[in-house]
A and B are shown apart, each in its own frame.
Chain A
């Protein structure tokens, strides 16, 4: 059974079909990138996969559960237990330190554990910046805190929305290396991006246009390492 399966998924806003009969699957441990131009439906798909929205029609099976039929309360619980979210804008709570931001995800999941949170920061190379506020961190560092926060509850899927959109090349490489490490450890990754260099790193690349999947390309030369042109 696939970890994630979208069957005949539509998202319709009035006349607009943001997603139009989308079908695809993601296997456990797979690294998939979803790319497409602005307005192609990437964010809509991310919202649906991330249990932050429901499709107008179709089935979205996450670990065998059709999340399209779940209540808002259950979707929150599924999101908390199975999905780690990474955002382009980082969305760190600016009055909490790096370690507290990581602990926030633990707090809403189970129990905050500072030791575990520090270990997560260590994994992303930020052990020395644990007590810093987001305003005292660079964009790359903030994104790594965001990755640590997404990892802390060992989710089934890491769902990243334009994770390198606000980063320079150096930090982009650091974040992609982190994804590579996570993939090696068996984490399932879905990365939504419009950056071809980031998209091409993944094992499989899905291209969206006008709400439809126009291409699904398997990376034959998968290394998990970014190559800048």
Chain B
């Protein structure tokens, strides 16, 4: 009987129910689109922000002191180096998933055949790593220096050439000075060995790098016999904007209470990530490139906040729509509901009937809205980020719960009206 009544209502009031389903679908589609984008935005914004370069630099402790005192760079000046073998540990820290890219650097002053010296930098280009977590990462300056314009040749493909191959990239200013083009060879002499490197690409960095040579890490290390040694590491990490706690911790983590320390350590503040990097890289000092770190976190926070606000507003809109439609439906059916009460239906039975009808409509609207939202998310992904949005399974239960809550919230006024409805008033007047 119950099902016959539900079926009867859904078929008889299909236009009204369609409107309710449409309203729910609209709310659910916006919620699922915004949630999908919000959950995927970290990766998307992260890809965008990678173009800003690294936001954390790691140097040997001794070099850090010299840097501060004399503003000199490189392990050569201080005689201190970081160990290349510890690089993998960066992806094992508490905030490992927030480390999106990083590259080691070793600087060598190599002599050219004409007797002049040129700064030669060894680094990763697109270094492939398979991490213990199962994650795979292609890290290096190909993405960390994405603003470099390749004017000749192409980016050095480390995965194809190997990390000690005799290949390099040179800056436009140096190429012009030496009269070299992509495909030519440069002969470099270090303190320990000499190598002839084929130029695979010429870049325009718009800075000092235009006078430098970039080559695979091991190739440059071999020139000065610096096997396993690196001068610095640049890290691109996703961070949370600093607050008072982060600023206090950045000055002295020892000044924090145990609970403050836990909060700070477990929040992706740049200072917390730096601290955790220092914990795994021996004798290192990690420091944020403050401006970049702050702007990255702030952009991400603001983007997420915007998504949450749009989701909330769309759900409030849907709830108001449902409220109007369900109330109108109950008013229209007041004599039918009055009759049910008159022949013995208790309030619970009538409310259950109306809520079941609305919830069934909500399920239909919710499913349609979810898939429509997935479509909207793809439009947003392609329009804003130029790539598709990955649908996270967690969106499904969240949208389902939101749809149920919004439907129930939107139905409250109608249910209250239904509970107050007196059969005598709707069946033959109160007099």
Interface residue ranges, A against B (CB under 8 Å): 18, 39, 41, 43-44, 46-47, 50, 52-53, 73, 76-77, 79-81, 85, 87-89, 91, 93-96, 100, 103-109, 112, 149, 161-162
Q: B313 at interface (Cβ–Cβ under 8 A)? A: no
CA–CA, A39 and B431, complex, Å: 7
Judge whether A96 and B5 touch: CB under 8 Å: yes
In the complex, what's the smallest C-beta–C-beta distance from A54 to chain B, in angstroms? 10
Query: Do B340 and A43 have beta carbons less than 8 Å apart?
Result: no
Q: A91-B335, A95-B8, A104-B1 are in contact. Are A52 and B423 (CB under 8 A)?
A: yes
Cα of A39 to Cα of B8 in the assembled complex, Å: 37
Looking across the interface, which residue of chain A has its beta carbon closest to that of B336?
Answer: A93
- B15 interface residue per 8 A CB criterion: no
Question: Could you tell me which B residues sit within 8 Å of A by CB distance?
Answer: 1-2, 4-5, 8-9, 11-12, 335-336, 338-347, 349, 422-424, 427-431
Residues of A within 8 A of B8 (CB): 93, 95-96
Q: Is the CB of A108 within 8 A of B344?
A: yes
Which 9 residue pairs spanning A and B have beta carbons closest together?
A80-B344, A95-B8, A52-B424, A108-B344, A47-B424, A95-B12, A107-B1, A91-B339, A108-B345
Closest CB in chain A relative to B404 CB, distance in Å? 26
A100 touching B4, Cβ below 8 Å: yes
CB pair A94–B12 under 8 Å, yes or no, is yes
A112 touches B1 (CB 8 A): yes
Q: How far is the CB of B216 from chain A (nearest CB, A)?
A: 77
Task: Tell which of B339, B344, B430, B431 touches A76, judged by Cβ atoms closer than 8 Å.
Answer: B344
B344–A109 touching, CB < 8 Å: yes
* Residues of A contacting B429 in the complex (Cβ-Cβ under 8 angstroms): 43
Tell whether, in the assembled complex, residue A105 and residue B343 are in contact, meaning their CB atoms are under 8 Å apart: yes
- Asked if A108 contacts B343 (CB within 8 A), the reply is yes
A77 adjacent to B344 (CB under 8 Å)? yes
Q: 9 more A-B contacts (CB under 8 A) besides A39-B431, A100-B4?
A: A18-B431, A44-B430, A81-B344, A89-B427, A91-B336, A93-B5, A93-B8, A94-B336, A104-B5
* Chain A residues with CB under 8 A of B9: 95
Query: Which B residues touch A95, using CB under 8 A?
Result: 8-9, 11-12
Q: List B contacts of A52 (CB < 8 A).
A: 342, 422-424, 427
Whether the pair B428, A43 counts as a contact (CB closer than 8 A) is yes
Q: Flag if B428 contacts A161 (CB, 8 Å).
A: yes
B428 touches A88 (CB 8 A): yes
Contacts of B339 in A (CB 8 A): 91, 93
Q: In the complex where A39-B431, A43-B428, A47-B424 touch, is A76 in contact with B1 (Cβ < 8 A)?
A: no
Distance of A77 Cα from B348 Cα, bound (Å): 13
Most buried by A among B1, B9, B12: B1
Q: Closest B-chain residue to A149, C-beta based?
A: B343
Give the distance in Å from the alpha carbon of A11 to the alpha carbon of B311 in the complex: 52
Task: Select from chain A the residue with minimum beta-carbon distance to B335.
Answer: A91
